[in-house]
């Protein structure tokens, strides 16, 4: 790591799953890290964040602007719907020439609005498109960068441990790549949950899986279904927001987003069931999850 980058101060907007992973990996490199999350104002959620920050030596900030203050690099990792608002709120504390790396799964239009605010405040906005699930890769998750300041940030990010590469000097290319991918990946999650749950109702799940294996022999459908169910149960609300942004991306391309909107609805529906306690304790068996959905539907048809 270069001497200059080694002295960088890092700010995080959003201290959820992704923010905490980045904080851990950046602190492991002995970098100064500050973080802010709106949940710090919620007593029932703040305790876990405070414990994590204390364990890893992260300074918890009092506001978006406080997290940005003095930071050489500010990373925004919030829910998709808060992309623009988070960038705007951070501008009051952003120092001149500081980078804001937008990790959020938002449409090219939303990224452009966030960039306008950051650049007008004297910062340097870089869109980041996270191209797969963060937890398995952590800071090394494949990351596409975009915008006029992307090339200036590429090498420093690599020095910090990120697997980052510039997709385009034009803003919107990286996020469009991410959003088009999300239509496929998050859509597949929604389709598997719908198809496998219905198959469980009709008692044809084994025949369904046998047919899918014949058509797609490289996929372990039992394992894939378990993974899809669990990720949506845990993160359905965030995924639904991402898919609403994907739907907006389709609209910006002139398409009616039938698939993206349907996926957003299914993801949100699973999130509501999870919030209501339908799934209970964590289970890696998709059949258990599907049975609990079917039991809930028998009690409260929807």
Question: Which tens digit of pLDDT belongs to each residue from 199-235?
Answer: 999 999 999 999 999 999 999 999 999 999 999 999 9
* pLDDT greater than 90 at residue 7: no
pLDDT, mean of residues 254-279:
96
Neighbours of 163 (CB within 10 A): 14
Instruction: Report helix angle 221-252 to 258-275, nearest 10.
Output: 120
Which CATH number belongs to the domain containing residue 228 in this structure? 1.10.1040.10
Question: What is the reported pLDDT for 94?
Answer: 96
Residues 125 and 253 grouped into a single domain: no
Q: How far apart are CA 90 and CA 118, in angstroms?
A: 8
Looking at the structure of the chain, the number of domains it has is: 2
* pLDDT greater than 90 at residue 175: yes
Residues 24 and 159 grouped into a single domain: yes
pLDDT, mean of residues 173-191:
97
pLDDT, mean of residues 50-61:
98
Q: How far apart are CA 71 and CA 135, in angstroms?
A: 25
Share above pLDDT 70 across residues of the chain, in percent, rounded to a whole number:
98
Residues 97 and 192 grouped into a single domain: no
Domain boundary residue, one of 170, 202, 230 = 170
Instruction: Report helix angle 173-202 to 221-252, nearest 10.
Output: 130
Eight-state DSSP code of residue 40: G
Residues 116 and 228 grouped into a single domain: no
The rounded radius of gyration (Å) of the Cα atoms in the chain is 20
Tell me which residue range forms the domain holding 206: 175-299
**Residue 166: helix, strand or coil by DSSP?**
strand
Which CATH number belongs to the domain containing residue 117 in this structure? 3.40.50.720
* pLDDT greater than 90 at residue 302: no
| Helices assigned H by DSSP within 34-93 | 43-56, 64-68, 83-90
Alpha-carbon separation of residue 194 from 5, 174, 217, 226, 269 (angstroms): 47, 30, 21, 13, 11
* pLDDT greater than 70 at residue 1: no
Residues 31 and 163 grouped into a single domain: yes
pLDDT, mean of residues 84-90:
97
Residues 160 and 202 grouped into a single domain: no
Residues 166 and 179 grouped into a single domain: no
Question: What is the reported pLDDT for 3?
Answer: 62
* pLDDT greater than 80 at residue 5: no
Residue 285's contacts (CB-CB under 8 Å, 6 or more residues apart) are 226
Tell me the average pLDDT of the chain.
Answer: 95
Question: What is the reported pLDDT for 253?
Answer: 95
Report the length, in residues, of the chain. 302
Residues 163 and 16 grouped into a single domain: yes
Question: What is the reported pLDDT for 2?
Answer: 59
Residues 136 and 86 grouped into a single domain: yes
Kindly report which listed range (2-6, 63-67, 124-128) carries the lowest average pLDDT score: 2-6
**Residue 168: helix, strand or coil by DSSP?**
strand
Q: How far apart are CA 5 and CA 22, in angstroms?
A: 16
Question: What is the reported pLDDT for 293?
Answer: 96
Residues 108 and 199 grouped into a single domain: no
Residues 63 and 144 grouped into a single domain: yes
Question: What is the reported pLDDT for 4?
Answer: 79
Share above pLDDT 90 across residues of the chain, in percent, rounded to a whole number:
94
How far, in whole angstroms, is CA 151 from its chain's centroid? 23
Domain boundary residue, one of 119, 142, 170 = 170
Summarised one tens digit per residue, pLDDT across range 96-151 is 999 999 999 999 999 999 999 999 999 999 999 999 989 999 999 999 999 999 99
Question: What is the reported pLDDT for 281?
Answer: 75
Domain boundary residue, one of 170, 188, 215 = 170
**β-strand partners of 13:** 36, 76
Cα within 13 Å of Cα(147), Cβ side: 28
Alpha-carbon separation of residue 300 from 1, 231, 237, 290 (angstroms): 57, 24, 21, 15
Angle at alpha carbon of residue 270, lines to 268 and 271, rounded to 5°: 60
Residues 156 and 202 grouped into a single domain: no
């Amino acid at each position: 790591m270069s001497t200059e980058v080694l002295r960088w101060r890092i700010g995080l907007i959003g201290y959820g799953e992704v923010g905490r992973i980045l904080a851990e990996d950046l602190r492991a490199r002995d970098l100064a890290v500050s973080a802010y999350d709106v949940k710090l104002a919620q007593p029932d959620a703040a305790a876990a964040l405070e414990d994590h920050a204390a364990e890893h030596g992260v300074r918890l900030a009092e506001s978006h602007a406080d997290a940005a203050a003095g930071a050489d690099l500010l990373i925004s990792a919030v829910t998709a719907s808060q992309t623009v608002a988070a960038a705007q709120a951070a501008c009051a504390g952003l120092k001149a020439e500081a980078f804001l790396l937008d990790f959020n799964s938002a449409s090219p239009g939303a990224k452009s609005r966030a960039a306008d605010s950051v650049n007008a405040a004297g910062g340097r906005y870089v869109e980041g498109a996270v191209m797969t699930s963060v937890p398995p890769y952590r800071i090394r998750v494949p990351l596409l960068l975009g915008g006029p300041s992307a090339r200036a940030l590429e090498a420093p990010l690599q020095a910090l441990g990120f697997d980052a590469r510039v997709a385009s000097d034009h803003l919107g290319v990286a996020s469009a790549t991410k959003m088009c991918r999300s239509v496929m990946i998050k859509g597949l999650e929604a389709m598997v949950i719908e198809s496998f749950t219905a198959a469980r109702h009709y008692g044809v799940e084994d025949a369904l899986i046998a047919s899918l294996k014949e058509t797609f022999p490289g996929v372990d459908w039992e394992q894939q279904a378990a993974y899809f169910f669990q990720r949506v149960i845990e993160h359905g609300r965030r995924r639904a927001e991402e898919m609403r942004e994907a739907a907006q991306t389709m609209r910006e391309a002139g398409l009616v987003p039938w698939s993206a909107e349907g996926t957003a609805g299914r993801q949100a529906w699973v999130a509501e069931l999870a919030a209501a306690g339908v799934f209970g304790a964590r289970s890696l068996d998709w059949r258990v999850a599907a049975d609990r959905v079917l039991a809930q539907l028998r009690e409260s048809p929807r």
